[in-house]
Structure 1
Amino acid sequence: MGTVVLSIDAELAWGFHDRPDPPRERIAAARPGWSRLLSILEEFSIPATWAIVGHLFLEECDGTHAEHPGSPDWFARDPGGSAGEHDDWFGPDLVRAVRDADVDHEIACHGFSHVEFGNRETSRETAVAEVEASIEAAASMGVELRSFVFPRNRVGHRDVLAAYGFRSYRGVRPDQWFDAVPMRRTGKLLDAAVVRSAPPLVSPTVDEYGLVNLPASLDLFGFEGIARSLLEPTVGDPVVRQAKAGIDRALESEGVCHLWLHPNNLLAERDSDRLRTVLSHLAARRERSSLAVETMRTVSERVDLPDAYRAVQ
C-alpha cells in the first residue's frame, strides 16, 4: 500500500513579479483560490504541504530589502507598505489560516521572493539570503520550515537547504514517454486522449546532501487551454482520470503519488470541480483501505538517513 502527497505552491503576486507581463487573471485569482483550496481540503480532511513564499509571512516591509543580494532590481515591483494596503504581496492572514486549520497541514518553504534556485545566475549568496529570510519570517509565526519546493521546479543549491536544516524537497517529475518525442505537446495530447497512461509513482530517495528527494508525479493543472477545452466534452477531464489512476496505483503498490498545484489555478468553477472530484476520490479510497495521505514532512521523517547525516538532522 502506498501514499498520496499533495503539495501546493502558494505565491500570490510573487509567482510572476519577474515576468515582463504578469498574468493579471491568475494574480487576481490567487487569494480567493487560496481560501477555496483550504476549504476544499477541510471538506475532505486532506492534509497538504503548503510551500509558501516567505515574504507572505510579513505584516509590512520597506519594499527595497537592501540586505538581499538581488536588491533593488529584483524587488522593483514590491510596493512595500503593509499587508492591509497590498494584499497581493503580503499574506499573513492566509498563512495563519493554514497554520490554524483543523486539518494538520505542513507549512513549507518556497523561497522568500520566488528566486529560481536552479537558474545559473542565482548565486549561493542569493540562495542563502532567500532561505535565511524565509526561516526568520516563518519563525515570527511559530512555524518551522523543514520541506522545500523550488520555484518553477528549478532545483539548485541543495547544499544550502541541508546547511539550514531542511529535510526534504520536491524533485522533478520522472520523464514519461511523450517527454522524449520531438513534438512533446502533441505527444502529451495523444497520451491524454488515447494512451491514458497513469502518472508515475515515485520513491523518496536520499541525495548526496542527506536531503530526501520526493519527486512530483502530476501537476493537477498541467493540461489547460485549448487542449483541455477540446477533450473535456468528448473524453472527460484527462487530469481527473490521471489523478484517479495515480491514486488507485498507490492503493495497489508501494510508492508515492505526489500531486501538486497552485491556488491561482482555481480560476473558474470547473477548476474547483476538478479538485473536488480528485479529493473526493482520494478520501473515498482512504476510507476503504489503509492508503495513507501524508505531507512531505511526514513522508521524509519515515526515510532512514545514512549515519553521516543523522547528527545534522
Structure 2
Amino acid sequence: MGSVVVSLDAELGWGFHDVESLPTDRVESGRRGWSVMLDLFSEFEIPATWAVVGHLMLESCDGRHAEHPAPEGWFERERTEWADRADLRFAPDLVDALLSSEVDHEFASHSFSHVLFGRPETDRELAEAELRRSTEIASEWDQSIETFVYPRNDVGHRDVLADHGVRAYRGRSPTRDGVRGLFDSTFRDHSLLVQPVVDEYGLVNVPASLFLFGFEGPARTVAESIWEDPMVVQARRGIDEAVESDGIFHMWLHPNNLTHERDDHRMRAILAYLDRKRSNTDLAVETIGDIAQKVDVARSVDGQVTPIDGRTIGDD
C-alpha cells in the first residue's frame, strides 16, 4: 500500500524573527494560512503532521527568557519591534483549534524558538533547552512530542532528540530542496518517493519529497498562464507514484506560504486529488508518526529493519 504524508512547519513570526529583511506578506499570512489549512484538512478528512514552535503555546512572556541559553540578542525582536505583536509571538487560540479538530492530526515539535540545530553556534546545551522547553509546554497541553521537524530543515543534535523521547524526524529531501528540479523532472524519470531509514540513534528519518511552495514569483505566474500550477502537477505526480509503487510521498509547507487565494486554490487542488485517489485506490494518508510506528513494528530483535514496502530499510 502506498502512503502520502503531509507535514507543516507552524511557526508564525518565529520563522522570521532572526531575519533582517522580513518577507512581510508571509509574516502577516501565518494566522490566515493556519486556519485555511485546518479547514481544508477537515473538509477532506486528511490528517497531517503539524510541527508547532513551542513558544506559540504560551499565553504571554517577558520577551527575555533569562534562563534560556540562547545567543545574545536572540529574543530581541520579540521585546522590541514585536513587543506589541502578540499575534506573531503567541497562538494558543490556533493551537487549540488544531487540537480540537475532528481530524486526527499529529502534534509535533518545531523547537521552542526556531533555533537552527545544524549551526555551529548551536551547542548541545542550546539544543537541549529548545527541546526540553517545547516538550514541557506541550505536556501542559496534554501533548507528548514524538516527532520533530527541524527549523529550516537544518538537521543536527539527533542524539538530543533521542534522549528526549523523540522517535522520528523529517529529514532533508534527497535532491534540490524538495523541488527536485521542476523542469528537469518533467522530462526525466526522477522518483518523488522517499524511504524511511533508522539512524544510529534509533530515530526514524522520514525524508521530505516535495516542498509545495518551491516554485513562486514571476515564473509561477507565467507557468500558470500557459499551463497549470506546476506544483499541483508535481504533487499529483508524487501521489500517483505512491499509488503505483506502494511507496511514500512526503509533501510539506508552512501555513504562511498561503499568502493569496491562488495559494489556497493550490492546496485545495492537491488535497482534493489526494482524497479522490485515496477513495479509488489502495492508498493511505499517514503522518510522520504513523510511518515511524510501522518502522518500529518492523524492527527485529537484532536491530535490523524488515522492509515495510518490499525494500530494505537500512541505517544512515
Query: Normalising to structure 2: TM-score of the pair?
Result: 0.90
Counterpart in 2 of 1:275? 267
Counterpart in 2 of 1:114? 114
Counterpart in 1 of 2:57? 57
Counterpart in 1 of 2:181? 188
Compared CA separation, residues 46 and 198, structure 1 to 2 (3 A): farther
Compared CA separation, residues 28 and 142, structure 1 to 2 (3 A): same
Shift of 1:188: 3.5
Amino acid aligned to 2:288:
M
Equivalents in 2 of 1:246, 1:113: separation in Å?
32
Counterpart in 1 of 2:292? 300
Compared CA separation, residues 26 and 85, structure 1 to 2 (3 A): closer
Compared CA separation, residues 269 and 202, structure 1 to 2 (3 A): same
Compared CA separation, residues 273 and 70, structure 1 to 2 (3 A): same
Equivalent position to 1:215, from 207, 216, 233: 207
1:230 aligns with 2:222: yes
SS in 1 for 2:51: strand
Counterpart in 2 of 1:134? 134
Deviation per residue, 1:231-268 (Å, 9 max, x gap):
11112111100000100111011221000000001111
Counterpart in 2 of 1:19? 19
Deviation per residue, 1:17-75 (Å, 9 max, x gap):
00011212111100011001100111100000000001001111111011111154111
Counterpart in 1 of 2:308? none
Query: Normalising to structure 1: TM-score of the pair?
Result: 0.90
Amino acid aligned to 2:156:
G
Compared CA separation, residues 188 and 250, structure 1 to 2 (3 A): closer
1:284 aligns with 2:276: yes
Counterpart in 1 of 2:307? none
Compared CA separation, residues 170 and 107, structure 1 to 2 (3 A): same
Counterpart in 1 of 2:76? 76
Q: Is the 8 A contact 1:66 1:72 kept in 2?
A: no
1:79-98 matches, within 5 Å, as 79=79, 86-98=86-98
Equivalents in 2 of 1:108, 1:13: separation in Å?
18
SS in 1 for 2:272: helix
Compared CA separation, residues 132 and 309, structure 1 to 2 (3 A): farther
Percent identity between the aligned chains?
Answer: 53
Counterpart in 2 of 1:244? 236
Amino acid aligned to 1:293:
V
Q: Is the 8 A contact 1:8 1:260 kept in 2?
A: yes
Counterpart in 1 of 2:148? 148
Compared CA separation, residues 116 and 243, structure 1 to 2 (3 A): same
Compared CA separation, residues 76 and 306, structure 1 to 2 (3 A): farther
Compared CA separation, residues 50 and 163, structure 1 to 2 (3 A): same
Equivalents in 1 of 2:221, 2:198: separation in Å?
40
Counterpart in 2 of 1:182? none
SS in 2 for 1:148: strand
Aligned-residue Cα RMSD (Å) equals 2.3
Counterpart in 1 of 2:255? 263
Equivalents in 2 of 1:25, 1:265: separation in Å?
9
Equivalents in 1 of 2:145, 2:88: separation in Å?
22
Amino acid aligned to 2:226:
T
Shift of 1:224: 0.6
* Unmatched 5+ stretches in structure 2: 305-316
Equivalents in 1 of 2:34, 2:302: separation in Å?
39
Deviation per residue, 1:110-162 (Å, 9 max, x gap):
01000010111111110000000000111111111110000000100000000
Q: Is the 8 A contact 1:206 1:305 kept in 2?
A: no
Compared CA separation, residues 35 and 19, structure 1 to 2 (3 A): same
Amino acid aligned to 1:121:
E
Shift of 1:79: 3.1
